Amino acid sequence: MVSERSLEVLRVIVHDYVASREPVGSKSIVDRYSFGVSAATIRNDMAQLEDEELIVAPHTSSGRIPTDKGYRVFVDHLAEVKPLSSAQRHAIEVFLGSSPDLDEVLARTVRLLSQLTNQVALVQYPSVNRARIRHVELVNLSPTRLLAVLITDTGRVEQRVVELPEEFPDGGLAEVGSTLNQVLGGCTLIEAEQELRAIADRFSPEVIARVQPIIDTLIEQLSANRQEKLVMAGAANLVRTEEDFSGSIYPVLDAIEQQVVLLKLFGEMAMDERTRVQVSIGRENASFGLQETSVLASGYSSQGGEVARLGLLGPTRMDYSNNMAAVRAVARYLTRLLGED
């Protein structure tokens, strides 16, 4: 059983090792912190932590560094999730508040989160299980080219260029757009695809040749929207911390390129009710090929109520307290922003 003082020693070892990347010794702890005990007593506390496999000596006669288990105890019991500064909160509001649509919001979110934390930032698109069609817009670009814009109630906007075999007569395109909105408005994505596959009967033989490319494009847009997607930024931050990985960093880079792996990992992470942030550390990620990384995640929701995850990935030696605060704050702001759409 680890004593309360030993847990405090673990806290300062994590803090100092994250800050310096140097093993932490008993003399350093006595010199830097007011425990009110001798270096010999601190060494006994460290021996207790080592017996519990919470710290380890990377080299003979060196100081100690946290293990994956030590980081887990730190995150679960010792980490203090500090609020972001007013300047950081203001930066979030300014940077994300000017985004015009969901795609841009999420792209800005990962860039901002990566800059705040110096880690790889990840954000999952909202689940489309309950998403519904809000509007379809057909915009003329030239007599035989138009832009098909598909907008869902989650805020997602999908645009595709459509090439037509011939131009529409006056008022013809507006009539097609009106019919599409009458049929598709309020449909789920699956329902909308089913309606589109039967919609040709609503148009006369004279115009169906012009309408069919629009129908085909909208079906492709719906299919693309139903796929789970991630946006990522900050992969270069992994390279800057390459010394924190015992082997090559390339397997980690390969793993994060596989969106299905990260989506599955997000899906299996359990919520910490105390911090509202999920943390998966080191060996807990081994089945995903990410055993030398930690992943932090929190949930956000869009206007339609769909819940998705955003988070960070980086080496196990990271500033958990500040990173957890950043993830939580950005998730809360993103929920508020999307809920206002």
**Mean pLDDT across 283-298:** 93
* Cβ proximity of 41 and 82 under 8 Å: no
For residue 341, the model assigns a pLDDT of 47
The pLDDT of residue 222: 85
Looking at residue 210, its amino acid is R
pLDDT over 80 at 227, yes or no: no
Cβ proximity of 112 and 309 under 8 Å: no
Mean pLDDT value of segment 154-177? 88
| Sheet strand arrangement including 145-152 | 133-142, 145-152, 157-163
Q: Of 278, 230, 280, 279, which Cα lies nearest the Cα of 256? A: 230
The owner of tokens 């990271």 is 318
**Nearest by Cα to 23 from 49, 48, 53, 60:** 60
Q: Please provide the distance, in angstroms rounded to a whole number, between the alpha carbons at the two ends of the chain.
A: 52
Mean pLDDT of the chain: 88
Which alpha helices (DSSP H) does the chain contain, by range? 4-20, 26-32, 39-51, 68-73, 86-97, 102-117, 172-184, 189-198, 205-226, 235-240, 250-257, 259-268, 320-339
The answer to whether 213 and 131 have CB atoms below 8 angstroms apart is: no
Which amino acid, residue 18? V
Give the pLDDT confidence of 7-56 residue by residue, as tens digits.
Answer: 999 999 999 999 999 999 999 999 999 888 999 999 999 999 999 999 99
Q: Are 148 and 159 in contact (CB under 8 A)?
A: yes
Give the position of tokens 């946006």: 231
Tell me, letter by letter, the H, E, C secondary structure of 43-80.
Answer: HHHHHHHHHCCCEECCCCCCCEEECHHHHHHHHHHHCC
Residue 159 in this model has a pLDDT that exceeds 80: yes
**Where does residue 11 rank: exposed (0-12), middle (13-18), buried (19+ CB within 10 A)?**
middle
277: three-class secondary structure by DSSP: coil
Residue 305 confidence (pLDDT): 61
Distances (CA, A) of 329 to 80, 275, 341: 14, 11, 19
Tokens of 295: 């992943």
CB of 106 closer than 8 Å to CB of 134: no
Residue 306 — pLDDT band, cuts 50, 70, 90? low
Model pLDDT, residue 327:
94
Check residue 273 and give its pLDDT.
60
Number of neighbours of residue 295 by Cβ within 10 angstroms: 25
Q: At what angle do helices 205-226 and 172-184 cross, to 10 degrees?
A: 50
Can you tell me the distance from the alpha carbon of 163 to that of 207, in angstroms, rounded to the nearest whole number? 15
User: In this predicted structure, which of 132-141, 204-213, 299-308 has the lowest mean pLDDT?
Assistant: 299-308
Which of 305, 337, 335, 325 has its CA nearest to residue 113? 325
Q: Show the CA angle centred on residue 159, arms to residues 297 and 236, nearest 5°.
A: 40
- Tens digits of residue pLDDT in 175-224: 999 999 999 999 988 899 899 988 988 888 878 889 999 999 999 888 77
Return the pLDDT at 153: 81
The more confidently predicted of residues 189 and 227 is 189
Domains of the chain: 4-78 (1.10.10.10), 86-127+228-339 (3.30.450.40), 133-226 (3.30.390.60)
